[in-house]
Structure 1
Amino acid sequence: MAKKYDVIIIGAGPGGMTAALYAARANLSVLMLDRGVYGGQMNNTGAIDNYPGLPDVTGPELGEKMYQGTMKFGPEFVYGEVKQVKLDGNDRIVVTDNDEYVAPVILIATGSEHKHLGVAGEEEYQGRGVSYCAVCDAAFFKDEDIAVIGGGDSAIEEGLYLAQTAKKVTVIHRRDQLRAQPILQKRAFANDKMDFIWNAQTEEIIGDENKVTGVKYKDKVTGEEKTLPVAGVFIYVGVQPQTAPFEDLGITDEHGWIISDDHMKTKIPGIFALGDVRQKDLRQIATAVGEGSIAGQEAFKYIQSLND
């Protein structure tokens, strides 16, 4: 028999934890599911300086604070990878790799993940010089030359983090200017340990039998192919939604992002989506928390409507 709850929250990042807090405070029985450690992508983030009230906190620290604050209201937290969500009248059945759970309300907060470049050597050298997480792997490249591929907020934030311990950080970007916020650009350009290669198309990540030794790229202006010797390559070229288990529900757009309104409602009653998994412009901790509070309150309202 599948265990029953009022609300099942899929994803334990900042949005999911906030939704769990609000739903549990409303005296609902709440299950929070995640395939990994609570905190989501915050666990891969160094210094966070844009979350109100906590001007000097690391991602893992903020994740732990949120988790402790949420769990004191009594939701359950279970590890499990969601494979499918099935509909049965007012019941929503969540099928994981270990078990099945049932609730009238599902809140999807599975977030997004880093895209891969898809170039030769990327998969081969993952864990041996190729990384998508500066906080996780910066210590392995102390006093080494490192490349960061990308030009958005994540690329520059992580480049600045790496520059604290690396010998040199070279940002390789396919355009002639960064897309990161102006304040991040200002910090990066002022950092003596950061350099930039513009209009560069990454072609291949090269190495020996054990580790990365460089990045091959093509100058898009001249067509010349060049090699940058580095010991590590950190890739930040965008994100994609983690929505594979929900494709059959018909609630995603053509890119896989879930469509939900200002109340976090999808087109299926009782199924809500919040945080970075949504079709929207700004994906930040603060926006995920705000949407989590809305979703938690909407879950309560929906449960009440079923009992009217």
Structure 2
Amino acid sequence: MAPQHRPVAVIGSGPAGHTAAIYLARANLNPIVFEGMMANGFAPGGQLTTTTDVENFPGFPKGILGGELMDRMREQSENCGATIETETITKLDCKSRPFKIWREGSETQDEPTDTADAVVIATGASARRMHLPGEDTYWQNGISACAVCDGAVPIFRNKPLVVIGGGDSASEEAIYLTKYASEVHVLVRRGELRASKVMGDRLKNHPKVTIHFNTSPVECLGENGLLTTVTTINNVTKESGEIKASGLFYAIGHDPANGLVKGQVELDDEGYIKTIPGSATTNVPGLFAAGDVQDKRYRQAITSAGSGCMAALDAERYLSELESENSKKL
């Protein structure tokens, strides 16, 4: 069977992917969206499907559930004319033109299942977790990997909170949480911070912050479905301890879902896809990156959506130029 061809394919179905699809569909480019099924460990819709209340996405003054927000984005993509396939893409050839795409189960075949003149990759990133005992029980019921996303939720207000990590991100998140928490405990597994001196000094000098060096979390405990306690161990003395806390925030890094393009496109030293500043353009003509797979700084639904818009506009311009070049050859 001949591969199915589209002018542009979007791989990923978070805010970046669906925003790109909406703009591309409205430009009459007939995009196809491969939303993935448990791709990168997430259901279609990405990380927001694992989030409960989203209070910081514009247009929802009373907040909205993460899953509902993604359902609405998906519906809007379809209403605008995008074709959505619940398929996971397992192989992408960025060297051929058009791009060659293989759906899950077909990656060993020589011929691709799909081709596209341009590709928007919006496969996201996943926050690193420690998979502590009790973590699955209290995930999004006291445990989170995004302080900016969840820190203002009522269950955390005026309550003791715990942040795990010793780098700049952990320091920033801990300081951010002091606006809402009664106190913030930072668990650092080593005897020193990895954060820059400026961030480290801010953390050490904040009156609401207590830093626990050489300390690792052991277990998450709770009552009535909510987190109440984090048990710990001192990595030097092996002494056990516990911290009463209503929230536990991981700040130990993210892993961008770059498997489809690794070795084919320029990545930074942390594995994020590099884009030309101010655009979604990569070093591969016709390949555009949007969302958390290229954004290691902000990682918010609204910034992902914005970069999806950029990717769509860049792709539209690329396809227009490609059409013009092909016309000249005729």
Asked whether the equivalents of residues 163 and 169 of structure 1 are also in contact (C-alpha less than 8 Å), the reply is no
Asked whether the equivalents of residues 113 and 240 of structure 1 are also in contact (C-alpha less than 8 Å), the reply is yes
**For residue 95 of structure 1, what is the aligned residue in structure 2?**
102
* Partners of 1:224 and 1:94 in 2: CA distance: 51
Where structure 1 has 5 or more consecutive residues not aligned to the other structure, the ranges are 139-145
Asked whether the equivalents of residues 11 and 120 of structure 2 are also in contact (C-alpha less than 8 Å), the reply is yes
**For residue 110 of structure 2, what is the aligned residue in structure 1?**
none
Where structure 2 has 5 or more consecutive residues not aligned to the other structure, the ranges are 38-42, 107-112, 185-207, 221-226, 325-330
* Partners of 2:175 and 2:59 in 1: CA distance: 22
* Partners of 2:234 and 2:147 in 1: CA distance: 20
Task: Please state how far the C-alpha of 1:73 moved relative to its aligned partner.
Answer: 1.2
* Partners of 1:219 and 1:265 in 2: CA distance: 45
Asked whether the equivalents of residues 165 and 250 of structure 2 are also in contact (C-alpha less than 8 Å), the reply is no
- What SS is found at the alignment partner of 1:17? helix
* Partners of 1:160 and 1:273 in 2: CA distance: 30
* Partners of 2:311 and 2:126 in 1: CA distance: 22
1:248 equivalent among 254, 260, 263: 263
Asked whether the equivalents of residues 242 and 277 of structure 1 are also in contact (C-alpha less than 8 Å), the reply is yes
**For residue 13 of structure 2, what is the aligned residue in structure 1?**
12
**For residue 48 of structure 1, what is the aligned residue in structure 2?**
54
Per-residue deviation, residues 181-229 of structure 1 (Å, max 9, x unmatched): 86642212289xxx9763244546359xxxx996333278xx5632328
Task: Please state how far the C-alpha of 1:64 moved relative to its aligned partner.
Answer: 2.0
Is 1:115 matched up with 2:120?
no
User: AA paired with 1:134?
Assistant: W
Task: Please state how far the C-alpha of 1:296 moved relative to its aligned partner.
Answer: 0.9
TM-score scaled by length of structure 1? 0.75
- What SS is found at the alignment partner of 2:84? strand
* Partners of 1:218 and 1:174 in 2: CA distance: 15
* Partners of 1:264 and 1:108 in 2: CA distance: 10
Task: Please state how far the C-alpha of 1:300 moved relative to its aligned partner.
Answer: 1.5
RMSD over aligned Cα, in angstroms?
A: 3.7
Asked whether the equivalents of residues 199 and 219 of structure 1 are also in contact (C-alpha less than 8 Å), the reply is no
Structure 1 residues 5 and 53: CA distance shift in structure 2, 3 A: same
Structure 1 residues 159 and 304: CA distance shift in structure 2, 3 A: closer
**For residue 250 of structure 2, what is the aligned residue in structure 1?**
236
State the percentage of identical aligned residues.
25
Task: Please state how far the C-alpha of 1:92 moved relative to its aligned partner.
Answer: 0.6
Asked whether the equivalents of residues 175 and 198 of structure 1 are also in contact (C-alpha less than 8 Å), the reply is no
Is 1:131 matched up with 2:136?
yes
2:239 equivalent among 225, 229, 240: 225
User: AA paired with 2:318?
Assistant: Y
Is 1:283 matched up with 2:299?
yes
Is 1:104 matched up with 2:96?
no
Equivalences, count: 277
Task: Please state how far the C-alpha of 1:281 moved relative to its aligned partner.
Answer: 2.3
* Partners of 2:144 and 2:60 in 1: CA distance: 29
Structure 1 residues 245 and 175: CA distance shift in structure 2, 3 A: closer
TM-score scaled by length of structure 2? 0.71
Structure 1 residues 13 and 251: CA distance shift in structure 2, 3 A: same
Structure 1 residues 106 and 303: CA distance shift in structure 2, 3 A: same
Q: Provide runs of 4+ in structure 1 moved above 6 Å.
A: 229-233
